[in-house]
Structure 1
Amino acid sequence: MSSTRTRPAGLVIALALCGVLAAGCGDEDAVAEDPATSAQPSEQPSEQSSTPPRTAELITLAAPAEGATVSDSFEASGKANSPEANVPWEVRDANGETVLEGHATAEGWMDKLYPWTTTVDVSELDPGTYLFIARTDDPSDGEGKPAEEVGAHISVE
C-alpha cells in the first residue's frame, strides 16, 4: 500500500498568498519618480562625512540636492509613508549635533508614499556645512518599525 501526503487546501493557499505579498504589488507610487535624485537604500547616516541615502523604503528626499548652497531658507521635499503623515526633520552641524528641528506633514499615509514639503529657515545658522535629515516618525519609541532617515549635505552661506 502506498502512502500519499496531502496538505490542507488552506495551508497551500496561505503559502501562495505569502509568496505574492512578499513579491510586492508593483505600486509605481511607492518608488522615487526621478532615479537621478535617488540612491539605493543604505544604513542610516551616522557620520557627517558620509553621504546619507536619498531613498529608503518609506521615505524619499527630492530636495535639497546633495551639496546644495542655501541661505536664509530653503524648501525640503520628498515622499513618505509615516505614521499620521508626520515627517520629522533636523539639521545637524559638523559635530553631528542637532541645531534645528521641525516637521513636515505629508498629504496622507498608510497605503503608499505621499508628497511632503516644508520650508527650513536657516537664517540663524553660521555659514558652514550641515546635514539635513528627514525621517519617518516612530511614535512607538522603538517598539515598532524603526524610523528611516534620508538626507543631504547643505552649505549655508
Structure 2
Amino acid sequence: MRHSPVLGNSTLLRRTSALAAAAVATLVLAGCGSDETPVAEDPAAETTTAVPTTSAPVEPTDPAPTQTSAPADTPAPDPDALITLDTPADGATVSGSFDASGTANSPEANVPWTILDGSGQKVLHGHFTAEGWMDKLYPYAGSVDVSTLAPGSYTFEVRVDDPSGGEGKPPQKVTRSITVQ
C-alpha cells in the first residue's frame, strides 16, 4: 500500500486504529447470542483478555461425615465455644490418675485445669498444651494425678483464659463432676 503524500503518518495511524477498533466491535457484536468465539480476520487487530486457568489437580474431598444424633439429654455444642472436654465423662469415678482430653483454642496453646473440692476451693491445678492455637480448636490431652486427694466428690474444670484484660472473648470453661476413690 502506498502512502498518499497528502495524508501524514499520524492521520494514517488514526485511520488504521479506527478501522481496527471498528472491526473488533463488529466481531464482538456478531458473536452475541452465539456459542462460537469470533475470530478476527486480522489477528493483529484482535484484542484478547487473559482468563486465568489452573492446571493443578483437584484433590478429592472426603465424603461427608455421617450425622449421628446425640442423646436427648446432651446439649448441642456451642459453635462459639473455645474449649471442649471429651474425657472424663461427667460423674466419672477415678483413682490414682485419670486421662483428660478435648479441644481448645487457648492463648499460646495453654489449657489450664483445676480440681475444686465440694466447697469450691482449688485443691489441684495444672495445664495441658494443645497442638496449636489461634485459628481453630486444637486437640489437647494429658493425665491428671489425683493420688494426693482424699476420696470424695470434686469438680474438674478446664478453661480458656482471656489474657487481654477483657478486650477479647470472655474466659470460657467446661466442668465435670468426678468422684475420687
Normalised by the shorter chain, which TM-score bucket? Answer: 0.5 to 0.7
What is the DSSP-based 3-state SS (H/G/I as helix, E as strand, rest coil) of the residue aligned with 2:136?
A: coil
1:144, distance to aligned residue in structure 2 (A): 2.8
TM superposition shift of 1:56:
6.3
SS at match of 2:143: strand
List runs of 5+ in structure 1 lacking aligned partners.
1-27, 43-54
| Alignment correspondent of 2:149 | 125
After superposition, give the CA deviation of every residue in 1:38-60 in whole Å (9 maximum; x if it has no partner): 63468xxxxxxxxxxxx961100
Residue type of the alignment partner of 2:86: A
Structure 2: segments with no counterpart, 5+ residues: 1-63
Bigger Cα Rg: 2
The structure whose RCO (Cα within 8 Å, separation 6+) is larger is 1
Structure 2 counterpart SS, 1:58: coil
1:59 matched to which residue of 2? 83
Distance 2:115 2:139 in 1: 20
Change over 3 Å in CA distance of 1:56–1:153 after alignment to 2: farther
Show the 5 A alignment for 1:74-153.
Answer: 74-153=98-177
Report the TM-score when normalising by structure 1. Answer: 0.65
Aligned twin of 2:44:
none
- The number of equivalent residue pairs is 114
With the length of structure 2 as denominator, give the TM-score of the two structures.
0.57
Normalized per residue, the structure richer in strand is: 1
CA distance in 2, matches of 1:112, 1:64: 22
Percent identity of equivalent pairs? 58
Question: CA shift at 1:142, angstroms?
Answer: 3.6
